[in-house]
Amino acid sequence: MDARVKTYDDKMQKALDFLLSDYQTIRAGRANPHVLDKLKVNYYGTPTPIQQVGNITVPEARMIQIAPWEKSLIKEIEKAIMASDIGITPNNDGAVIRLVFPELTEERRKDLVKDIKKKGEECKVAVRNIRRDANDSFKRLAKSEVSEDEIKDLEDAVQKLTDKYIKDVDKAIEEKSKEVLTV
């Protein structure tokens, strides 16, 4: 692959990776510890990810259990969960915090699928913007040292990449939507 095209391939891959990591934080009825990835706890004045202040386990299909390494952090972890958009009230027994995930309603599943599709469309727009940037940079090359045929080849290569990534995004949207709609 041409080095000039490889740069844009990397950018498109980053856009897809961002989408996939974003999808991991969407809960699909089952307990998924990744829903806690964006949460930070006030740990001695420093915002710290929950994964770094306790042990996170999934003892049952619909439950996440957080065992903080310091008992004093239980209140802080509870506060962070309550302030987040997870939508689950934590249960605390003094030693561990349990998050029990309720069954998703049909309406909530449909809302999540809409959100999944919206994020997928945003990723497609990002990929297309990268293609546009690539084509603009190739046109600037035409004014200097590169032949029109080479420019055409570069544009074709970027278009093939764009098609591949759009197909990957569509596949990701379909898989996540199916996961959310599965009862």
Q: Is the pLDDT of residue 170 over 80?
A: yes
Q: Encode pLDDT of 65-120 as tens digits.
A: 989 888 888 888 888 888 877 777 888 888 888 988 877 788 888 888 999 999 99
| Sheet arrangement for strand 54-60 | 54-60, 63-68, 97-100, 91-92
What is the pLDDT averaged over residues 38-62?
86
- Identify the residue with better confidence: 176 or 36: 176
Annotate 77-113 with b (16+ C-beta within 10 A) or e (fewer). Answer: bbebbeeeebebebeeeeebbebebeebeeeebeebb
171 — pLDDT class (breaks 50, 70, 90): very high
The per-residue pLDDT for 28 is: 67
Domain 33-100 bears CATH identifier 2.60.120.260: no
What is the pLDDT averaged over residues 162-166?
94
Q: Which helix (H) or strand (E) holds 7?
A: helix 3-24
What angle (nearest 5°) sits at the alpha carbon of residue 171, between those of residues 87 and 154?
Answer: 125
The first and second tokens of residue 166, run together, are 């759009």
Where do the structural domains in the chain lie, given as residue ranges? 3-25+105-181, 33-100
Least confident of 11-15, 29-33, 102-106, 156-160: 29-33
Q: Is the pLDDT of residue 27 over 80?
A: no
The per-residue pLDDT for 183 is: 62
DSSP state of 26: S
Q: Determine phi and psi for 37, rounding to 5 degrees.
A: -55, -40
130 contacts 8 by C-beta, under 8 angstroms: yes
What is the pLDDT averaged over residues 157-178?
92
Rounded Cα distance between 26 and 113, Å, is 10
pTM metric for this prediction: 0.72
The burial class, CB within 10 Å (0-12 / 13-18 / 19+), for 23 is buried
Rounded Cα distance between 6 and 121, Å, is 23
Strands 91-92 and 40-43: unpaired
Structural fold of domain 3-25+105-181: Topoisomerase I; Chain A, domain 4 (1.10.132)
Q: Encode pLDDT of 118-132 as tens digits.
A: 999 999 999 999 999
Average pLDDT, the chain: 86
Q: Is the pLDDT of residue 29 over 70?
A: no
21 — pLDDT class (breaks 50, 70, 90): confident
The per-residue pLDDT for 16 is: 92
Helix/strand/coil (H, E, C) string of 73-136?
Answer: HHHHHHHHHHHCCCCCCCEECCCCEEEECCCCCHHHHHHHHHHHHHHHHHHHHHHHHHHHHHHH
